[in-house]
Amino acid sequence: MYIAAVILSILLALAVLAGGAPKVQLKGDVPDGLIQKGLGAAMVRFIGMAEVAAGIGLVVGIWWQPLGIAAAAGLAVVFVGAICFHAKWGDYRDSATRNAAMAPFVFLVLAAATIVTLAASI
């Protein structure tokens, strides 16, 4: 189970580091889109910092599982917030934005699987 926990932790960490870094820097299409939809620049930067911190926590959590579990649980909260945000803006009804809006669902499942495998490997 430990090998699965390592693989899931690394995959999730890479995904959130790649998604969080542009938000922290406020560069790219995603931060611009979030700001245009009403999130302030400070909130976008905060979400990005939470994602980057969780990515680091997931990597460290490979050796200290409680930190990895906490990081994955924090990410689950972020992804639930992202799902609510996309639902509020009707991204699931619009075929042009639906595919991108499905990413938080996938990452929520990945975060849950990471929590379970890390907890089982303690």
Read off the pLDDT of residues 54-105 as tens digits, 9 standing for 90 and up: 999 999 999 999 999 999 999 999 999 999 999 999 999 988 889 989 999 9
pLDDT at 122: 84
pLDDT at 100: 87
Q: How many domains does the chain have?
A: 1
- Print the domain residue range for 15: 2-120
- C-alpha closest to that of 25 among 5, 7, 41: 41
**Residue 108: pLDDT band with limits 50, 70, 90:** very high
